[in-house]
Amino acid sequence: MNHAILLISCPDQKGITAAVTNFIFQHQGNIVHADQHIDEQSNTFFMRVEWSLDGFMLKREDIQRSFAGIAGPFKMQWQLSFTSRKTRAAVFVSRHLHCLYDLLYRHKAGQLFCEIPLVVSNHPDAAKLAQDFGIPFFEFCVEHQNKIAQEQKQLELLRANQIDLIVLARYHQILTRQFVDCYPAQIINIHHSFLPAFAGSNPYLQAYQKGVKVIGATSHYVTEGLDEGPIIAQDTAAVSHRDSLEDLKRKGEDLEKIVLSRAVRWHLERKILCYGNKTVVFD
């Protein structure tokens, strides 16, 4: 697969789609996927277009400059990527390993189009698992007084490995604003409730005490506010009075795995556009 993908957003006006698709056609590109959306409230146009580079008349390095001539007049915010370059993802985890298991299995099975050069944790529990999958494991013991320093070391590690996506697969540390600012819309978290209900700690306990009949999981981009970033994916499952707190956790784990891997896959396939505190997902 040798494709280019453009993600575009701009104020809506006539002719945007024609301009973009003409650009591709004039250089002999074959569109394999195109989708668009207009947010009527803000009059914003969103588009994702993917085309084959087989026979495309522009070199990769020239597309960026050439397309800028289209993008300018429409005041586009845009992002160009190529399927020939795999995203490099780091997985952060603490002691609950189900999401890490799931991600590594899917990665090995070819469902996640990325490289996973490292697993990071504040506990040693995941070391054996990472090892079984042949992935380097790095432990950073994080405590209140060393948090800033440890985050600095983590950032160095991430940069040294050219990481461009961080997946928080039940990583039970709140990242500082400084850390988050280094990876805008590049950190995906799984929260084990249907946000905005039960934000913060112990969401299954909160759900159990409230007596809800549905539990959920939410994957979202991490922003400064805890559990408040743009929601990417959510799913729910039915529960009843028969379900103990342990049952909620067990049923919830299955949701977490599905919802997190869905968000990661969409991110890797460049299917997500953020606007304000929401997402457009061109699934």
Q: Which long-range contacts (CB under 8 A, 24 or more apart) does 120-125 make?
A: 120/90, 120/91, 120/92, 120/93, 120/154, 120/157, 120/171, 121/92, 121/93, 121/94, 121/171, 122/94, 122/171, 122/172, 122/173, 123/94, 123/95, 125/94, 125/95, 125/97
Which CB sits closer to its own copies, 97 or 167? Answer: 97
Q: Which residue from 230, 260, 269, 270 is in contact with its own copies, where contact means CB under 8 A? A: 230
CB of 46 to its own copies, least distance (A): 8
**Contacting its own copies within 99-158 (CB under 8 A):** 101, 105, 109, 111, 132
Length of the chain: 283
User: Do 192 and 257 form a contact (C-beta atoms < 8 A)?
Assistant: no
Region of 113-121, 153-161, 174-182, 206-214 interacting with its own copies (CB under 8 A): 206-214
β-pair type (114-121, 137-139):
parallel
Residue in 233, 248, 264, 268 binding its own copies, rule: CB under 8 A: 233
Based on the shown chain and the rule CB under 8 A, indicate whether residue 43 belongs to the binding site for its own copies: no
Q: Which two tokens stand for residue 129?
A: 């698992």
Question: Residue from 77, 146, 214, 224 that binds its own copies (CB under 8 A)?
Answer: 214
Q: Considering the rule CB under 8 A, would residue 11 count as an interface residue with its own copies?
A: no
- Vertex 283 angle, CA 31 and 255, to 5°: 155
**10, 21, 82, 172: which one contacts its own copies (CB under 8 A)?**
21
Decide: 113 and 269 in contact? Cβ < 8 Å.
yes
Active site residues: 227
Of 89, 91, 231, 268, the one binding its own copies (CB under 8 A) is 231
Question: What residues make contact with its own copies under the rule CB under 8 A?
Answer: 12-18, 21-22, 24-25, 28-40, 98, 101, 105, 109, 111, 132, 194-198, 210-214, 216, 230-236, 238, 240-242, 244, 250, 254, 258, 276-281, 283
